[in-house]
């Protein structure tokens, strides 16, 4: 609310003798408006734009370093940079500084750099379903021993909790599917009664038939007291939880690689160790192994999820 100069003069006249709330009432303005004028707002008009900080600037002494990271790779996210600062300067930064850093980086990008997304919301029930699919990781540009490392990650998730496990693979085969599933339920120690996949040939023989699964896949899951399910042809969003988490997984890997400053690894074991942190699930980090490291046949059935 804007007040006239006469109202403000009245406010200050009464405020010398009576409490601010009473002075505001006599001057015909609200208590909040009165406080504004007592704090220095000009009468009858807009407040003067604030050109000072209300608290110390945590990033002032580190802004050149932050700009250096952004200039080196404009794809770095504010969250990644904040995690870097928290690790590098213990006790100086914490999660509460994320909003300020995000705004500062947005302003920096508006002046010096560049730079959005969509997802399908699903109704999820705890303990009812697990999902899996492969995701192509060639775009990460990883090299092993100086050579390009084209590979897939078998990605297993519990849609409700977000628990996940990954397994390095090189093709979408039945062996890759079963070894990845065995590894995941072994780490989890439990089994969801329904396991959903896309219409991949390793599990499905007829995509048009709702029950058109490969006998080997049905038998494999029966050992774990689980049943297969699949999304309808052309409707990958029915397997959308794992599909959407592919993007999150690879974004986390890409961000960590950017911060690392190199995508080169001396061997696959070195790369597996690197994968453990970005692939960590909310409850426990997945232990990443390569093809052939899991046994070729199921051992003992795990308990059902509750």
C-alpha–C-alpha distance, residues 249 and 166, integer Å: 10
Q: Does domain 129-304 have CATH number 3.30.420.10?
A: yes
Residue the block writes with tokens 């802004």: 63
Domain ranges (residues) in the chain: 1-52, 60-112, 129-304
- Tens digit of pLDDT for each residue in 33-57? 888 888 875 555 445 555 555 567 7
- Which residues, other chains included, contact 94 with Cβ-Cβ below 8 Å and sequence gap of 6+? 86
C-beta neighbour count of 74 within 10 angstroms: 15
User: What is the model's pTM?
Assistant: 0.56
Round the CA-based radius of gyration of the chain to a whole number and report it. 29
- Rounded to whole angstroms, how far apart are CA atoms 101 and 122? 32
Q: How far is CA 301 from the centre of its chain?
A: 32
- What is the distance, to the nearest Å, from the Cα of residue 177 to the centroid of all Cα atoms in its chain? 25
pLDDT digits (tens, 9 = 90+) for 123-180: 667 888 999 999 999 999 999 999 999 999 999 999 888 888 888 999 999 999 999 9
- CA distances to 23, 30, 130, 164 from 42, rounded to whole Å, are 18, 16, 62, 58
Is residue 247 pLDDT above 60, yes or no? yes
Pairing relation of β-strands 152-157 and 194-197? unpaired
The mean-pLDDT minimum among 61-75, 100-114, 152-166 falls in: 100-114
Say yes or no to pLDDT of 191 above 70: yes
């Amino acid at each position: 609310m804007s007040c006239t100069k006469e109202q403000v003069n009245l406010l200050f006249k009464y405020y010398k003798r009576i409490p601010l709330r009473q002075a505001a009432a006599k001057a015909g303005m609200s208590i909040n408006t009165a406080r504004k004028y007592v704090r220095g707002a000009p009468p009858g008009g807009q407040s003067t734009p604030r050109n000072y900080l209300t608290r110390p600037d945590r990033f002032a002494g580190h802004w050149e370093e932050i700009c250096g990271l952004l200039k080196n790779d404009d794809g770095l996210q504010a969250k990644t940079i904040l995690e870097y600062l928290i690790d590098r300067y213990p006790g100086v930064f914490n999660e509460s500084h994320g909003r300020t850093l995000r705004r500062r980086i947005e302003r920096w990008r508006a002046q010096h750099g560049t730079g959005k997304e969509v997802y399908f919301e699903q109704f999820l029930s705890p303990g009812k379903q697990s999902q899996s699919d492969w995701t192509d990781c060639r775009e990460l540009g990883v090299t092993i021993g100086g050579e390009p490392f084209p590979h897939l990650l078998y990605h297993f998730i519990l849609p409700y909790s977000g628990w996940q496990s990954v397994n390095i693979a090189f093709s979408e085969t039945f062996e890759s599917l079963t070894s990845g599933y065995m590894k995941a339920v072994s780490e989890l120690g439990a089994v969801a009664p329904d396991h959903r996949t896309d219409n991949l040939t390793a599990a499905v023989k007829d995509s048009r038939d709702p029950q058109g699964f490969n006998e080997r896949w049905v038998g494999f899951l029966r050992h774990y007291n689980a049943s297969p399910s699949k999304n309808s042809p052309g409707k990958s969003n029915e397997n959308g939880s794992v599909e959407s988490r592919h993007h999150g997984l690879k974004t986390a890997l890409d961000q960590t690689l950017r911060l690392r400053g190199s995508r080169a690894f001396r061997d696959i074991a070195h790369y597996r160790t690197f994968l453990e942190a970005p692939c960590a699930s909310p409850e426990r980090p997945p232990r990443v192994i390569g093809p052939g490291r899991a046994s070729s046949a199921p051992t003992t059935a795990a308990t059902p999820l509750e």
